[in-house]
Amino acid sequence: MFSKLTWKLLAFSALLTGCNDFNFGAPRPEPPVGETDSQEQKSVRRLSADRTHLEVRPDPSPMPILQAPYSDQSPILDGSGAERIWTRAPILSLELGTSPPTQDPSSAGVRLALRAIYTDTEIFFLAEWPDNNRNHLHQPWTFRFDQSDYTVGDQSEDRISFLFPINGPFQPNQKPTQPSSWDIWTWGCGSTQTSGFALDQIHRVTPTRPTGSRAQSISLADGSTLWVQRSSDQGRSVHNLSKKPVDYLGETVPRYFASKPTGSGADVQAKGSWEAKEWTIEFRRKLSTKNKDDTLFDPSRGDHQACLQVTNGSASPPNRHSRVFLIRFGQRP
């Protein structure tokens, strides 16, 4: 039997842990000026659902590198990824693994294609990965006929989260040992998609117990304690919770619904689409928001660290993680 502490560590590790393999893609040929990809071309360049079992190449370098070229134009945030501008961005192919690693041979690894572009004032990300099913319900109200009442269900929506360091060491794949803070963006199929924004949160590791939302304690080898807390950025969050239905409204009722966020909670825009059993998600944010709860993207400061997590509501286990990678900004003309 595992101790309570062991279960806590496994749960924390399962939240944010990276895998150890990757390979790089290359820019695809550009279509003629003024054209976007045809459906056939787009299907070819995407990671198709039947390529889930791709061979993984050994990682010859400390961290994968996502090249982010400069552009004087911005892509339209529609979740299609079909615009010509994205052909300028090299693909970083990331293998997503489970944490702890699954022993189920039927649970194959998932390959995600990632791109980035930046302008004078903004940064954009394009993520694409295979998913056989579209899952939009996240912990819905589920009617229990034996209790004649609604309880919170255990379903998970399809979603993707980006993690970026703000202060302190960036340790998304291990137990924290020092105070730190991270910026987290989450797009959810059911909880954020209709708003056009992502859930913007800050992840804090502090030596003293924080106030506000729930915090988890982590005991260190020297006997000291760190507290881990994740909360929405200042302003109105894109996430909203519906009240438990009083009357019977069906076996499942959506519990999360999206609305337009405000303040720092409205910093990150995101839009996705599910087509041919693949997700395509685009993110957009200012390089500098001047908010303390956001990471600063400064191309003049060299490489920036990042990590991501993908949740497939139909998979077991549902959460998969990348390893930490570097965002490398290209030079301006």
Instruction: Tell me the pLDDT tens digit for each residue of 34-93.
Output: 344 444 344 334 433 333 333 334 444 579 999 999 999 999 999 999 999 999 999 999
- Per the DSSP assignment, residues forming a β-bridge with 231 are 202
Q: Are 281 and 187 in contact (CB under 8 A)?
A: yes
Residue whose C-alpha is closest to residue 318's, from 49, 15, 8: 15
- Contact present, 238 and 256 (Cβ < 8 Å): no
Locate 75 and state its tokens.
């892509």
pTM for the structure as a whole: 0.77
| Stretch 156-169: mean pLDDT | 94
Look at the block and give the residue holding tokens 């825009």.
Answer: 269
Nearest to 129 by CA among 321, 323, 324: 321
pLDDT in the model for residue 330: 97
Cβ–Cβ < 8 Å for 85, 73: yes
Under 8 Å CB-to-CB from 153, ≥6 apart: which residues?
137, 139, 140, 141, 142, 252, 255
pLDDT of 163 strictly over 80: yes
- DSSP code for 43: H
Task: Determine which of 2-6, 206-210, 246-250 has the lowest per-residue pLDDT on average.
Answer: 2-6
Query: What pLDDT digit, counting tens, does each position of 304-320 carry?
Result: 999 999 988 876 667 88
Residue 232, Cβ density class (10 Å: 0-12 exposed, 13-18 middle, ≥19 buried): buried
**Domains along the chain with CATH numbers:** 4-329 (2.60.40.1190)
Mean pLDDT, range 13-17, rounded to an integer: 41
The pLDDT value given to residue 324: 94
Per-residue pLDDT of 100-138, as tens digits, reads 554 444 445 688 999 999 999 999 999 999 998 898 887
Q: How far is CA 87 from CA 27, 36, 45, 299, in A?
A: 6, 10, 11, 21
Q: Residue 61, exposed/middle/buried by CB under 10 A (0-12, 13-18, 19+)? A: exposed
User: What's the pLDDT score for residue 294?
Assistant: 96
| pLDDT band at residue 255 using 50, 70 and 90 as cut-offs | confident
How high is the pLDDT of residue 98?
A: 76
| Selected residue with higher pLDDT from 213 and 304 | 304
Strands (E), the chain: 22-24, 65-68, 92-96, 110-118, 122-130, 141-144, 149-152, 159-167, 180-188, 199-206, 215-219, 225-232, 239-241, 252-253, 256-258, 269-275, 278-286, 304-311, 319-321, 325-329
Gap between the Cα atoms of 319 and 317, Å rounded: 6
